[in-house]
Structure 1
Amino acid sequence: MSEAYRLATVEGDGGSRVVVERKGLAVPLTALLEPDDLARLGGAPKDLMPLLEEWPHWSARLAERMAGKADRFGDAAIPADTLSFLPPIALPRKLICIGANYHDHIAEMPIPIVPTYPYSFLMSPSTTLRGSGAAVEKPSMTRMMDWEAELAVVIGLRCRDVPEESALTVVAGYTNFNDLSARDWIASRPPIGVDWVQHKNFDGFGPIGPYFEPAKFTGDPQALPVRLSVNGVTKQDSSTAQMVFGVAAVIAHLSRIMTLEPGDIIATGTPAGVGHGRQPPEYLQPGDEVRMEIGNLGELVTPIV
C-alpha cells in the first residue's frame, strides 16, 4: 500500500483549490501532477468532484505521483494547521442521511425504536454544507439546535443494485459530517409526522470535512472511534461498531432505490450523546464551539453564532 495521504479543498489564491496532506504538511494537488494529468482534469480542480468522477484512475495515479514526488513534502509544503478549509465537495449530486442508526443513540432517545431497514432522508447540499472553521448561524426559528457526529461515505463509482458483500468497493473514501438538527420539529410533531426540512435543512446545518481520506487508508469503517465535544466538554464518545446497519448494508439498501453516483455523500447516523437525549436536554447557543473527529479524518470545527 502507498503511503497514506488525505485530500482537502481549501481557500487560497483568490479561489478554491485541492491540496494533498501527509503528516501535517500539505501541497497543492497541481504540484504532484503532470501536464497531461491536468489536461485530463480540465485544469486545476476547484474541489474533489473532478477526481471522484474517475476515482479508480485518480486513486492509482495519486499513489504513483506520491511515490515519485515525495520531496514535494519538504520545506515548500504548507503546514496543514494554517489552511482555510472548504467542503471537500462543493456540490455533491446527493446528500443522503441515515437516521436512528446507532444502538446507543436509539436507547437514549425519547421513543427508542430499532428500525428494520436503513431509515433515510435528504438534505440540500448547495445550502447546508460548510467547511471546518466556518461559522453556522443558530436559526431564530429554533430553540433546540443539536449536534450529531457522523461518518460520511463518499461514493466513487456509479452503481445500482449493489450486493452488500461487495458494497464497500464503490466507496471512494470517508469524511466527518456534523448533522446539525433543529429538534423543535421532533419534540412537537404534527399529525403527518416529522418535518424533515425544518429539522435538518437550515442553511449551514451540514458542516463537513476537513479531510477526505481514501477508503484504502481508513480500514474497517465499522471500527472507528467517534468523538464530539462542545466548548471542550466531551458529549459523544462511541464507535462506528454501534451502527445498526453498517456502511455496506446502507449502500446496498440505497442502491436498490436510486443510482448512486460519484461524489454522492451518505451520512450514516450518530451515536449516543446528542443534546436532545440528555437529562436535562442540552442545545447549542451562539458562542458555542463544536469539535468532532472520527478515526483519522481530522478535526471538524464549527463555531455557532
Structure 2
Amino acid sequence: MTFARLFSFERGAQPGLGAEVDGRLLDVTVFLAERYRAQSLMTLVETGRLSDAAKAVADQAGRLKEIPAGFTWCLPLKRPPKIIALVQNYQDHAAEFGATAPPEPVWFGKISSSLTAHESEIVLPAWLESRVDHEVELAVILGRSGKDIPVEKAPGYVAGYSVLNDVSARHLQKADRENKHPWLRCKNFDTFTPLGPWLVAADAVADPQALSIACRVNGELRQNGNTRQMIHPVNKLIAVLSRYMTLEAGDVIATGTPAGVGKLVDGDVVECEIEGVGLLRNRVVKR
C-alpha cells in the first residue's frame, strides 16, 4: 500500500496543499477540498482522515498535476494546540551532558510562535551570545483527543509523523537551570522549532520505534541514531502525558534527540532526517 506524504505551500500569496509521491510534488489543493472538504492538513488530522487522504492521493497521483516552480514551503500544521517536548529520552544524549536519564518521562512546552517551515531560516538574534544547538527529533502528531489513554490503545491516537528540530540556546538553558526553569526561555525563540516538510500518515510508518534518525550540518554528520534507542517509546509517552492533561487532535509530541547535538552558527545549513518521514532543511542566519 502506497501513501503520499502531504505538505502545505504557498504560491503567489495563495495557500495550497501538496503531496509527494515517488519524488513528484503534486498540487492536491482542489482534490482534498472536493473529496474531504479540507482547506488545511489540520482538517484531515481533526477528522481522522489523514491516512485515507494520503492513500487516495497516491492512488490518483497519475491524474494530478505537479506544482509549478517558485512555491514557498509552509508548516504542515500552522498552530497546533500544544507542542510537548521530551527531555533526555535517549540515554546517549543524557550521557553527553553528564546526566542520568530520568526514570520517567520529563517534558516541557514549546510555543507555536517558535515554529518555522522547511527551507526557512533559523534566526539567531544579533544580541544573543549563547551557544545554539540543533536537536533532531521525531514529531508525533495526534489525531484524537483523549485523557488517561491506556498504553495499548495509544497507537489509535496517532494521526501521523513529521521531523522537528528542537533548537536550543545552551547558555540560557544553563542559567535558567540554576533557577529551576531550564527549558522555556532557551527553546522558544522565534524560528527555534523547525517542523516538516511532510505530514506522514501513521499507517505509512510500520514501526515508529525502528527509524534511523540523523542530523547533518553543512554535510557533516553530527547525529546518527535510531528511534529504537528511545528510553520511553511513543506509546508510553502518549499514555503518561494523558494522565496529566487532555491531549488534543493536532498536538505535537517531540520525542527527544539522540547524542551528537552541536553548535549552529551564522551561515550553517542544518538537515534533520528521519527514515521514511522526511528531510527538514534550514539555513542559520544571525541578525
In structure 2, how many angstroms separate the alpha carbons of the residues matched to 1:296 and 1:60? 18
2:194 equivalent in structure 1: 207
Render the CA deviation track for 1:95-116: whole Å, top value 9, x for unaligned. Answer: 1100110011111113x11212
1:32·1:66 contact (CA, 8 Å) conserved in 2?
A: no
- CA shift at 1:36, angstroms? 5.8
Residues 191 and 103 (structure 1), Cα distance of their counterparts in 2 relative to 1, 3 Å cut? closer
Other structure's SS at 2:277 match: coil
In structure 2, how many angstroms separate the alpha carbons of the residues matched to 1:62 and 1:34? 13
In structure 1, how many angstroms separate the alpha carbons of the residues matched to 2:100 and 2:52? 43
Render the CA deviation track for 1:10-43: whole Å, top value 9, x for unaligned. Answer: 12242322112211112222343474633xx4xx
- CA shift at 1:293, angstroms? 0.4
Residues 274 and 32 (structure 1), Cα distance of their counterparts in 2 relative to 1, 3 Å cut? same
1:210·1:297 contact (CA, 8 Å) conserved in 2?
A: no
1:31·1:72 contact (CA, 8 Å) conserved in 2?
A: no
Aligned residues: 284
1:156 equivalent in structure 2: 143
Q: Which of 263, 275, 279 pairs up with 1:295?
A: 275
1:27·1:72 contact (CA, 8 Å) conserved in 2?
A: no
Residues 98 and 13 (structure 1), Cα distance of their counterparts in 2 relative to 1, 3 Å cut? same
Q: Which amino acid aligns with 1:25?
A: R
Other structure's SS at 2:237 match: helix
In structure 2, how many angstroms separate the alpha carbons of the residues matched to 1:265 and 1:53? 13
Q: Which amino acid aligns with 2:85?
A: C
Q: Which of 234, 251, 255 pairs up with 2:221?
A: 234
1:185·1:194 contact (CA, 8 Å) conserved in 2?
A: no
1:16 equivalent in structure 2: 15
2:168·2:192 contact (CA, 8 Å) conserved in 1?
A: yes
Other structure's SS at 2:26 match: strand
Q: Which of 114, 119, 126 pairs up with 1:128?
A: 114
1:26 equivalent in structure 2: 25
Structure 2 gap ranges (5+): none
- CA shift at 1:60, angstroms? 2.8
Render the CA deviation track for 1:258-286: whole Å, top value 9, x for unaligned. Answer: 111111100000000012xxxxxxx2111
The answer to which structure has the higher strand fraction is: 2
In structure 2, how many angstroms separate the alpha carbons of the residues matched to 1:181 and 1:242? 21
Other structure's SS at 1:176 match: strand
- CA shift at 1:143, angstroms? 2.3
Other structure's SS at 2:120 match: coil
2:47 equivalent in structure 1: 54
- Quote the sequence identity (%): 37
Q: Taking structure 2 as the reference length, what is the TM-score of the superposition? A: 0.92
Q: Which of 286, 293, 296 pairs up with 2:266?
A: 286
1:216 equivalent in structure 2: 203
Residues 82 and 151 (structure 1), Cα distance of their counterparts in 2 relative to 1, 3 Å cut? farther
1:278 equivalent in structure 2: none
In structure 1, how many angstroms separate the alpha carbons of the residues matched to 2:270 and 2:130? 17
In structure 1, how many angstroms separate the alpha carbons of the residues matched to 2:50 and 2:163? 22
Q: Does 1:106 align with 2:86?
A: no
Q: Which of 258, 261, 286 pairs up with 2:245?
A: 258
In structure 2, how many angstroms separate the alpha carbons of the residues matched to 1:131 and 1:33? 21
In structure 1, how many angstroms separate the alpha carbons of the residues matched to 2:115 and 2:34? 32
Q: Which moved more, 1:12-21 or 1:146-155?
A: 12-21
Residues 114 and 26 (structure 1), Cα distance of their counterparts in 2 relative to 1, 3 Å cut? same
Other structure's SS at 1:254 match: helix
- CA shift at 1:59, angstroms? 3.0
Render the CA deviation track for 1:181-209: whole Å, top value 9, x for unaligned. Answer: 00013334464323422211111100010
Residues 35 and 288 (structure 1), Cα distance of their counterparts in 2 relative to 1, 3 Å cut? closer
Q: Which of 83, 89, 97 pairs up with 1:95?
A: 83
Cα root mean square deviation, aligned = 1.9
